[in-house]
Amino acid sequence: MFYREAGQFKTTYEADGQILPIRQDRIALLATLAVAVLVLPFVATPYFLSAILIPFLIFALAALGLNILTGYAGQLSLGTAAFMAVGAFASWNFVYRFPGLPILAAFALGGLCAAMVGIAFGLPSLRIRGFYLAASTLATQFFVVWCLTKIPALTGGSASGVITAQKIVILGYAFDTPQRKYVLVLLIVALMALLAKNLVRSNVGRSWMAVRDMDVAAEVIGIRLMRAKLLAFAVSSFYCGVAGALYAFAYLGTVEPEAYSLDLSFRILFMIIIGGVGSILGSFLGAAFIVLLPVGLNIVAHGLGLPTSVASNLELMVFGALIVFFLIVEPHGLARLWQIGKEKLRLWPFPH
Amino acid sequence: MTFKSLVLGAVLATSGATALAQQFVALPSYRVGPYASGGAGFYGGIIDYFNLVNAAGGVNGVKVTWEECETEYNPSRGVECYERLKTSQGGATLVEPLSTGIAYGILDRIPQDKIPMTMLGYGRSDAANGKVFPYVFPLISSYWSQAAAMVKYLADKNGGNLKGKKIVHLYHDSAFGKEPLPVLEALAKQHGFELVKVPVAPPGSEQQAQWLQIRQARPDHVILWGWGVMNSVAIKTAQRNGFPRDKILGVWWAGSEEDTVPSGDAAKGYTAMSFNTPGNYPVLDDIRKKVYAAGKGNLPDQGRIGSVYHMRGVTAGILFTEAMRTAQDKFGKGKPVTGEQLRWGLENLNIDAARQKAIGAANMFPTVKTSCEDHEGSGAVKVQQWDGKKWVAITPNWIVGDRALVKRLVDESSNKYAAEKKLTPACMK
């Protein structure tokens, strides 16, 4: 009923192969984007923009990066936060050492540095897989943070190792208010999400999925395993690196190793598990769940007048229970729930 | 609780907020997580003192209000809390995060929002320069002043001379542990002692290797720059390795009951820095009588009243209310002041011995006198020793280290920051 497709004919290959084949989906996506770009910056409070939406978008980007690696290419990783840290510190160093460099170029270069680190730490994936690979990417996490605290050159010789991020200025225009930062982050994330969606639909993406599903079979049909796996690590780390740079420059305002702890890696892993492994939309849904729910619970608990210590323990309990509940009800995550919902709506009111 | 009563409660709360003259303080606190014991004591102390002030009618009739938000000591949560609290109840006029990470995260936001931030005994030491950081106040004493005072104390203990001595800096390998290094290195050169730097990976629950290294180095003193679980592990490992605890001098975040009680016997004789004199004070009796007896106490356990962290919180509460009083003296008594006005109050604090006595806190903390050049206002500290049951001050007077050196480092570092951020250092009116 809501998804009545009658009358939507596809007469060309292009029309048949587009990202969103159903017209309602296209309209919904465009409407969401229009609201996000044209309405939210003007009506949302600075708190909502800078403390909720910006981190949500940044974590969605990081989750997208991990989803490319884990969800599409099947390589488990626990080093997401480390790749984010590389992106953040590299971007900071590029701006610091090359004062004339445009900040967007610095973000991209930061992403490329993360991609190189990703390739280096992706090498073990050629020999090991599954939990063993997860353990070896865990080494990235410790190694990168260790490097950042041990090598003063990476932190510009700052005594404490914590440095403040430079201002974001693009073509003389300063992105210094929550509205402007939000719009910038939104544009970068939307663009990269579109890119990711196309990438996973392409030849490269199909080779990743072949590797994920059965790497021996993939090799037999002529997919070069080394290239596919390392490319997955590179692209995934690039996404995480850009997310890390945005996290430092557009959200925290500081660049410090402790912000990129193992804890953050786990949170991003939870995002893709809850959101949906192997789904672009799932990365966004998962990030929304992990970012918004604790804040929402905290505000509700505060409204009920609970003492803060009780409130935060309650928050952890409810949060944990919801994760367990969700994964029992739908182990494939929120994206799968949405897909099922959509299918039901297409048949409504005559389910079979 | 139904939805209706929730809405009703919210409406009542907001209408109440506009009816009375009140001064709102944002407290991004932490009462769960690895550092909960410190956070609960510190914020408990602030709230107890605010309750005491409100019970006496507030600051010239203006009630102090506050709101907490749980950060779990996590910078990302802290930034979210700050953004949430800053517009709450008509706008925050002061913020105290008690976390270096969170303080760094909101450092660039506070001048824009015009909300002063205090950092009692932590954070950026170079923020003492009010020309570059007009809204940041590392009140009483920064890490650099503390490090200078530590060296002064150790020199005094060795007959005024540290030449040829060996001092180990055993530190939490993080921003916090590395902060004093510039001062210690400069003083090592100046006094001619050898500085051995021994890092401990956070959280510091395993230190066997470090203490073996220390035993081999045979230092004259060990500076323990630790936080949380690291401290009691250090004290216990020192005992196991036969290192005398009275040769260990802890930073003030390694000098609370939470650090020594779990170490048991091992902690006896251990010394640590403090910016409070341990003991009992009339203001603490007032808190027991007027706040806890009325059922408004913030700590579940009354035995913690007057503990190190609680007293630090009470001290913070006193400094905040004195700043409000100072600001009201200039901008109009009996009216709440804005963030900008409170910034002026914090910059013109003068809490001398007479004022401390009037509050009932004589000699509880050093005289605090701030100015635009000096947002710290004191820099004086004490050394306290654990006698097995409680902390006892072992330096009768307040110790001040090499102020000229600290001032020089503060100016160098803050001017570098100003150059990076393209700020023109200037005093605010």
ipTM: 0.81
Question: Residue B180 in contact with residue B146, Cβ under 8 Å?
Answer: yes
d(CA B244, CA B228): 21
- Max avg pLDDT among A171-180, A206-215, A314-323, A334-343: A206-215
Tokens, residue B356: 């401390």
Q: Where are the alpha helices (DSSP H) in B287-394?
A: 308-331, 339-347, 353-359
What pLDDT sits at residue B5? 46
A321-347 burial: b if 16+ Cβ within 10 Å, else e: eebeebeeebebbbbbbbbeeeeeeee
| pLDDT tens digit sequence for B319-349 | 999 999 999 999 999 899 999 999 999 999 9
> Are A253 and B75 a contacting pair at CB < 8 A?
no
Tokens, residue B169: 């800096």
* Contact residues, chain A, for B80 at CB < 8 Å: 51-52, 55, 295
Using CB atoms, pick whichever of A160, A161, A312 lies closest to residue B70: A312
Check whether A69 has a pLDDT greater than 90: yes
Check whether B76 has a pLDDT greater than 90: no
Residue A24, exposed/middle/buried by CB under 10 A (0-12, 13-18, 19+)? middle
* Contact residues, chain A, for B4 at CB < 8 Å: none
**Alpha-carbon distance A33 to nearest alpha carbon in chain B (angstroms):** 24
Please tell me which residue of chain B has the smallest CA distance to A168.
B421
> Are B176 and A160 a contacting pair at CB < 8 A?
yes
Using CB atoms, pick whichever of A167, A256, A303 lies closest to residue B175: A256
| pLDDT tens digit sequence for B91-124 | 999 999 998 888 988 988 899 899 999 999 888 8
For chain B, what is the mean pLDDT?
89
Check whether A168 has a pLDDT greater than 90: no
Please tell me which residue of chain B has the smallest CA distance to A261.
B74
First to last CA, chain A: 14
Q: Which residues of A touch B (CB under 8 A)?
A: 45-47, 50-52, 55, 149, 159-162, 164, 166-167, 176, 251-254, 256, 258-259, 295, 298-299, 302-305, 308-309, 311-313, 315-316
> Are B413 and A256 a contacting pair at CB < 8 A?
no
Please tell me which residue of chain A has the smallest CA distance to B143.
A160
The stretch B216-233 carries a mean pLDDT of 91
d(CA B126, CA B186): 16
Check whether A220 has a pLDDT greater than 90: yes
For chain A, what is the mean pLDDT?
89
Strands (E), chain A: 163-164, 169-170, 173-174, 254-255
* Contact residues, chain A, for B31 at CB < 8 Å: 308-309, 312
Tokens, residue B304: 């913690």
Question: Residue A74 in contact with residue B99, Cβ under 8 Å?
Answer: no
Check whether B277 has a pLDDT greater than 50: yes
Residue whose entry in the numeric block shows the structure tokens 């599409």:
A72
Is the pTM for the entire model greater than 0.95?
no
Using CB atoms, pick whichever of B76, B100, B181 lies closest to residue A252: B76
What pLDDT sits at residue B271? 94
Tokens, residue B207: 């230190």
Mutate to test the interface with B, among A49, A141, A155, A162 (most CBs of B within 10 A): A162
DSSP code per residue over B120-171? TT-S-GGGG-TTT-TTEE--S--HHHHHHHHHHHHHHHTTT--TT-EEEEEE
Residue at A139: amino acid letter: A
SS3 A255: strand
Q: In percent, how much of chain A has pLDDT > 90?
A: 51
According to DSSP, the residues that pair with B194 across neighbouring strands are B166
d(CA B44, CA B24): 17
Q: In percent, how much of chain B has pLDDT > 90?
A: 66
SS3 B391: strand
| pLDDT tens digit sequence for A106-157 | 999 999 999 999 999 999 988 888 889 988 899 999 999 888 888 888 887 7
Q: Give the torsion sign (CA, B292, B298, B303, B308).
A: negative
Kindly state whether B296 is in contact with chain A, defined as any CB-CB distance less than 8 angstroms: no
What pLDDT sits at residue A5? 76
Please tell me which residue of chain B has the smallest CA distance to A59.
B76
pLDDT band at A1 (very low <50, low <70, confident <90, very high): low
Check whether B204 has a pLDDT greater than 90: no
Kindly state whether B79 is in contact with chain A, defined as any CB-CB distance less than 8 angstroms: yes
Cis preceding-peptide flag for B282 (omega within 30 of 0):
no
| pLDDT tens digit sequence for A125-137 | 888 888 899 888 9
